[in-house]
Structure 1
Amino acid sequence: MASLNLFNLSFLLSLLSSSNLSLWPRNHGEKVGVFPPTCNRIECPNYDVIHTGNGFEIRRYNSSTWISTSPIDDISFVGATRDGFLRLFSYIQGNNSDKRKIEMTAPVITEVKPSDGSFCASSFVVSFYVPKENQQNPPSAKDLHVQKWGLTYVAVRQFGGFVDDDEVGEEAAALYASIAGTIWSDAIDKSYSGGNATEYIVAQYNSPFEFRNRVNEIWLTFDLEDGFAI
């Protein structure tokens, strides 16, 4: 059963901290293909790497279940993720319809719908991956909802360090640039053609007390049509 272990506590303390995490070094560049060390300790969704490119990789995730916040409007990615994390942390600590404690998982993901201007609020949805033992019937909670993912393809760019507000947009732009002109760009463009093509997901794996080998990711999810040659 879940407990307030070091990973949970340290993540929680960092989100409540007023310190400027951007002072810690970040690892920009073409980092890709690193298996997050956190996933050796706590449960993460399984995936297969089906392609490795220049600064990105393509993964295939099987069906999975996530518990998610309602959209959070904020001008700050860090602030919205902190807000969402606290709601979800309360949920796994037993503040749910079953009064059930649930194990912490990774990554914590934040879906980002950027605003049209620098001083306008963006929309963020923060999610925890539901452990396999709870995926069939996860308990409910006020202001949270369950997301069921079918077979999902994800374009991924990895980067290190502590994530800050300015960095997420830069890393998302870099992922788009690295995919441009590849066989994956058309599939991704089709998946986003009905909405905002600048939407992306930020995945964070590490406790803030882990200063080395930090792994963060930008995700673009998409579908593949039948007959697409991998």
Structure 2
Amino acid sequence: MATSNLNPTLSSSSFFLLLLLLSFAAGGIVFPPTCERIECPSYNVIGVGKGFEIRQYPWTEWVSTAPIDDISFVGATRTGFLRLFDYIQGKNDYNETIEMTAPVLTEVSPSDGPFCTSSFTVSFYVPKKNQANPPPAEGLHVQRWGFKYAAVRQFGGFVSDESIGEEASALYTSLQGSIWAFVNEGRKDDPKSVYTVAQYNSPFEFSGRVNEIWFMFDMQGVKHVYAN
């Protein structure tokens, strides 16, 4: 667990205890049952609020599609998922089969209107055993994350084109007035800023579905929070 870059006045043991308390207090955010069956990326919970939590993701690798232009989130995600599913089934330069992971991420760059084309990038988390050398494949690329921070809101059911905008708006509203309001900086002038949708379940699972909206942000704001 990397903590030394957050607040030099907190000892490692004190900060670890703080993270445990914050994780316990997160009540409304559940651990996706899917992650008990297949591999998911690990993360630290470094803050909580009403209807959201703040996570720190460590160095990880994801395999991603090129941007997909579509008017439908659902349609673009399906297109990207099928490309990535072929990839893990062995349609890659090494003809290597790779384990399925969760979540499936769709980064959304919204259009200016309801009937305009948006841009979507769909990604799979690369399992730990493949992180050192993920197979390349035509039309896909590997994203190598450094430390990433995300404000996260969970919601259930099947994700629809209508629900994602509503959930992103709800996350924006819940962050306002909290110590994490800086995450929204830049979104005031551009309410349709990029956000990410995480889906943890197979399309054949009809109950216990877990989805998330992520607002990614940099660590400068985190230093500001822990300095106050």
Shorter-chain TM-score bucket reads 0.7 to 0.9
Alignment of 1:179-194 (within 5 A): 179-189=175-185
CA distance in 2, matches of 1:188, 1:64: 25
The match for 1:211 is 206
1:209 CA drift (Å): 2.8
Q: Is the 8 A contact 2:59 2:146 kept in 1?
A: yes
The match for 1:126 is 122
Q: What are the superposed Cα offsets for residues 172-200 of structure 1, whole Å, 9 maximum, x if unpaired? A: 1110111012221224426x799886210
CA distance in 2, matches of 1:43, 1:102: 12
CA distance in 2, matches of 1:101, 1:196: 40
CA distance in 2, matches of 1:115, 1:214: 27
Higher relative contact order (CA 8 A, sep 6+): 1
Q: How many pairs align?
A: 200
Which amino acid is 2:212 matched to? E
Sort the Cα spacing of 1:227 and 1:169 in 2 relative to 1 into closer, same or farther, 3 A. Answer: closer
Q: Is the 8 A contact 2:183 2:215 kept in 1?
A: no
The match for 2:156 is 160
Q: Structure 1: any 5+ residue segments left out of the alignment?
A: 1-30
Q: What are the superposed Cα offsets for residues 64-117 of structure 1, whole Å, 9 maximum, x if unpaired? A: 100000000000000000000000000000110111000000000000000001
Normalised by the length of structure 1, the TM-score is 0.82
CA distance in 2, matches of 1:188, 1:99: 42
CA distance in 2, matches of 1:187, 1:170: 18
Q: Is the 8 A contact 2:172 2:184 kept in 1?
A: no
User: What's the secondary structure of 2:168's corresponding residue?
Assistant: helix
Which amino acid is 2:67 matched to? P
Which amino acid is 1:201 matched to? T
User: What's the secondary structure of 1:94's corresponding residue?
Assistant: coil
After superposition, the CA RMSD in angstroms is 2.1
Sort the Cα spacing of 1:194 and 1:130 in 2 relative to 1 into closer, same or farther, 3 A. Answer: farther
Q: Is the 8 A contact 1:69 1:144 kept in 2?
A: yes
Sort the Cα spacing of 1:187 and 1:207 in 2 relative to 1 into closer, same or farther, 3 A. Answer: closer
Q: Structure 2: any 5+ residue segments left out of the alignment?
A: 1-26
Q: Is the 8 A contact 1:50 1:60 kept in 2?
A: yes
CA distance in 2, matches of 1:122, 1:129: 23
Which amino acid is 1:118 matched to? P
The match for 1:64 is 60
The match for 2:215 is 220
